[in-house]
């Protein structure tokens, strides 16, 4: 146990503790009264008038304000002149204001009728693709694929099915989980296709 004691040997522990406390107090006093080596006070030039006041900027501002006042006086003079003069209404001469007004009106009516007929044909047109038939064909083909596959199928889900345009990554899911997420009628239809 004596070999493990690495303390500095001293004649009296009481005197050694008092000496250590005195050195510590002297160190704290030196730190408290330390003076900086760099002068961080405000320089003398900062109190000079040509440094504190930017005379050139003040001159530019004064010229700008005088220019604005001059423009305002000119504008006020023009407005007062306009308000003081009597207003005279322009008299329309006899005859139509436009020589081709009737022709333009007929052309506008013809274009409107053509647009209405095109819109009517578009609304009455029948779709070329049958989405119900395409969905049924897809389910039947997926049933064939399940019957032929040896291991559980894993497909990529479409981005719109996971909710959002900002979703730019695809997700791998099992085909059985995708079938469970469909409505009951769709699962029964797909099951019939798979069984066949």
pLDDT value at position 53?
84
3-state class (DSSP) for residue 142: helix
pLDDT value at position 4?
56
Q: Closest Cα partner for 77 from 67, 69, 86?
A: 69
Q: How large is the angle between the packed helices 131-148 and 184-195, nearest 10 degrees?
A: 50
Digit-coded pLDDT (tens) for 93-107:
566 567 788 899 999
Q: What percent of the chain has pLDDT over 70?
A: 70
Whether the predicted pLDDT of 76 surpasses 90:
yes
């Amino acid at each position: 146990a004596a070999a493990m004691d690495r303390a500095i040997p001293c004649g009296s522990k009481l005197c050694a503790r008092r000496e250590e406390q005195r050195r510590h107090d002297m160190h704290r006093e030196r730190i408290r009264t330390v003076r900086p080596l760099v002068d961080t006070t405000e320089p003398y030039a900062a109190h000079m008038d040509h440094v504190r006041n930017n005379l050139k900027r003040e001159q530019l501002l004064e010229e700008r304000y005088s220019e604005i006042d001059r423009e305002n006086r000119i504008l006020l003079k023009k407005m007062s002149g306009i308000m003081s003069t009597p207003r005279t209404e322009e008299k329309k001469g006899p005859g139509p204001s436009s020589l081709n007004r009737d022709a333009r009106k007929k052309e506008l009516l013809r274009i409107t009728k053509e647009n209405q007929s095109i819109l009517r044909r578009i609304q009455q047109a029948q779709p070329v693709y049958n989405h119900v038939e395409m969905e049924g064909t897809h389910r039947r083909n997926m049933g064939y694929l399940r019957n032929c596959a040896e291991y559980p199928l894993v497909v990529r889900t479409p981005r719109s099915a996971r909710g959002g345009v900002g979703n730019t990554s695809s997700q791998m899911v099992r085909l059985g989980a995708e079938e469970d997420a469909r409505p009951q009628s769709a699962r029964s239809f797909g099951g019939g296709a798979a069984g066949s």
